[in-house]
Structures are given as C-alpha cells and as structure tokens.
Chains A and B, each alone.
Chain A
Amino acid sequence: MAEKRAENNKSIRVAPFITILFFLIMGMIGIMTGEVGRVLAQAVQVCLSCIGIG
C-alpha cells in the first residue's frame, strides 16, 4: 500500500503548481501597484475606435 502511494506521489507533476504560483504572485504585484483600477477604468468605457467605429 505504502509502495503504491509512493509510486503515485512520484507521478505528480510539480511544474503546474510552480507556474500557477508564479503567475499568482505576478497578479498580486499588479493588484498592489493599483493596476486593477486602471483595468476597471478601461473596461467601463466604450472604446469606439477599438471596435472599429469612429
């Protein structure tokens, strides 16, 4: 049983967790620099030239 569990543990891929953690930290830095407000300010405006009008 212990051998089987050890075998299963060996097959767990670590790379996805490192990737997610990396981007999570990146996103949190973005939040701390106030980028969320900038994204919101952009998203609540209709950018006419961005949709090919005007």
Chain B
Amino acid sequence: MELVRKWVQTILALLVNGSWSFPYTRTIYQGPLKVVCSPGLNCYSCPAATTYCPIGSLQQLMAGIRVALENGQNFFGLYVIGTMGVLGGIFGRLICGWACPFGLIQELLHKIPSKKFSIPQKLNYIKYGFLLFFVILLPLLIVDDFGYGEAWYCKYFCPAGTLEAGLPMLILQPSLRQTIGILFYNKLAIMIGFIVWSVLASRPFCRTACPLGAFYALFKNLKLVKLRLVEENCTQCKECHSVCPMGVKFNESPENAECISCLKCMDKACKFDAITLEIAGLPIGSRDKAGTRRPKQTDAII
C-alpha cells in the first residue's frame, strides 16, 4: 500500500505541476486549467503549476473583498471555500497524505539519514492560528488606502511558495534578483528552517504551519473516507504509534485531527485487524494476512 501511495503522490504532484514549457516561456502557465483547485498545497506562481492554490486564492479574495464589493462584485471566496469544503468533506486530511506535493517533499527529506526527533503536540495548534489570522483575518482587515489587503501567509511565511515559486522565478528571470530584499531573505530562512526540520522530524510543516491542513482537519468527524478503530480487536500493543508519520496514537485517539490516512498503521503495524478503512461508516478494507490475525473472543467460544 505504501508503494501505491508513493505512486499516487508522485503522479498527482506531476499533474498539478504539469506545465513543462517554462524553460522556454520563462514564466508561469496561464491556461484555463488554472480554475481547477490543487487539492494539496502547491503555489500557483510555481512555473510548472497547472492549478490554483486554494490558500493563495482565498487570501487574494479576502484581500480584495472591499474593492470587489465597491465594484458591485459579490466575491466572498465561495467558489474557493466550496471547492476546499467538498474536498475536505470527502477526503479530509487524507489529501495531506496522498495528494500534497509539499507533503511528498517533506517525506523525501525525512528519508535522509540523521538522528530523528519528535514534535511536541502543542505545536500542532499553531497552524489553526495561521489559517484564522494570516489567511482570513489579516488579509481581510488590514488594508491600504485603496482598500486592498495583502496575502499575509504567502508574503511573509509560506515556505512552499519560496521553494516552488520564489527560487524558480529568480532562476528564470535574473532581472528579479535586483528586487529581492529582507522580505525574501526572511522567507528563505523560514524555508531552510523547514527543510532542516523535515530531515530531523516527520512532516513538521504539515503538523505545525500548514493552513490547508488545518482547514482539512476541521472535517475530522465529517469526512466520508476515514480510518476506524475496531476496539474489540485492539490489543493495545501500541505498534500503530511507532509507524505514524504525524505522531498520532491511533488506538488512543482514532478521531485525531492529525491523521492523514496514510494507512501505515493499518497496513504495516496492526496485526489484529483493529484498524479498518471506511466510507461513510461502511468498512471497505483492512489488513488481512493469513496467520497474523489474532483469534477473536468469539472464535474461542466457538
């Protein structure tokens, strides 16, 4: 299953970054596919990006909401939030595990041999602050003399934007190098920080700073596809703790908002069929290897 996931991650990363003419055009893709939402975090100013980034678009719409209303345009971000909500309602944070290019980059970085560290659970809450303040409130409330706000998260923080768009654009258009300043170096430092942290810890950006992950996490109880704990099969062996890339203790908190449904716990760790995948409450699969399943109490009675 892990191999399938890696293939899905790679194919989707290539699909949302499928415009490879940029070495000749020296700019970004400008075709009609840009109305399609990238399910994962993928900067739409990346030269290869074929889809729009929901977090970038949402900030832009929030930042321009006053001017749009003054011009009689009712742009409240409903198209973007609606699309994100449909994706969240179906998959939730499964998208983080299967469809996010920046998640894939972090997973690859984490394969670099080094001493590995855990991430304190309390840091998980920071990403909700980024979603509320940097993506919604600050772009909406702090405006210039003309009524325009700023894309705060993209401008001041997003390491994915620096890696996927900022650096490639500086390579493609050397004249831009004269315009970079403290803002860019600050973002570069944030990006390098997350790269180093990704080597040392598993998915630090997803866990602490991704506003899209925070949005999808809100659907933890509402999403269609989710993992379920079959309590009567669980032996509390805690094997699921050791394989989870998000630090989730699945047997203790099966509804944890951090679960990205990568299925490692179901596929690699649990030998007792205690973890199943379900769609709308109906189980559709579990690990089922002959000889590894624990006899249930009912079997003993029979």
Check A23–B280 contact: CB distance below 8 A. no
Within 8 A of A (CB), among B62-79: 68, 73-79
Pick from A8, A27, A34, A54: contact of B82, CB under 8 Å: A27
Check B170–A53 contact: CB distance below 8 A. yes
Count of A-B contacts judged by CB separation below 8 Å = 161
Check A12–B282 contact: CB distance below 8 A. yes
Within 8 A of A (CB), among B273-302: 280-282
Check B169–A46 contact: CB distance below 8 A. yes
Q: Contacts A13-B280, A46-B28, A51-B43 hold; do A30 and B77 have CB atoms under 8 A apart? A: yes
CA distance A50 to B157 in the complex (A): 10
Check B28–A35 contact: CB distance below 8 A. no
Q: Contacts A29-B82, A33-B75, A52-B187 hold; do A16 and B224 have CB atoms under 8 A apart? A: yes
Within 8 A of A (CB), among B19-37: 27-32, 34-35
CA distance A46 to B56 in the complex (A): 12
Interface residues on chain A, size class: 35 or more
In the complex, residue of chain A having the shortest beta-carbon distance to the beta carbon of B54: A39
What is the interface size of chain B, counting residues whose CB is below 8 A from a CB of the partner?
Answer: 61
Note all chain B residues with C-beta closer than 8 A to A16: 89-90, 222-224, 280
In the complex, residue of chain A having the shortest beta-carbon distance to the beta carbon of B162: A52
Note all chain B residues with C-beta closer than 8 A to A19: 85, 88-89, 219, 222-223
8 more CB-based (< 8 A) A-B contacts, given A35-B78, A43-B57, A50-B45 = A20-B86, A33-B75, A35-B79, A43-B35, A46-B169, A47-B45, A48-B176, A51-B187
Chain A interface (Cβ within 8 Å of chain B)?
Answer: 8, 11-13, 15-17, 19-20, 22-31, 33-36, 38-40, 42-44, 46-54
Chain B interface (Cβ within 8 Å of chain A)?
Answer: 27-32, 34-35, 43-45, 52, 56-57, 60-61, 68, 73-86, 88-90, 150-151, 154-156, 161-162, 165-166, 169-170, 176, 179-180, 183-184, 186-188, 219, 221-224, 280-282
The 5 closest A-B pairs by CB, nearest first: A27-B82, A23-B85, A30-B79, A30-B78, A26-B82
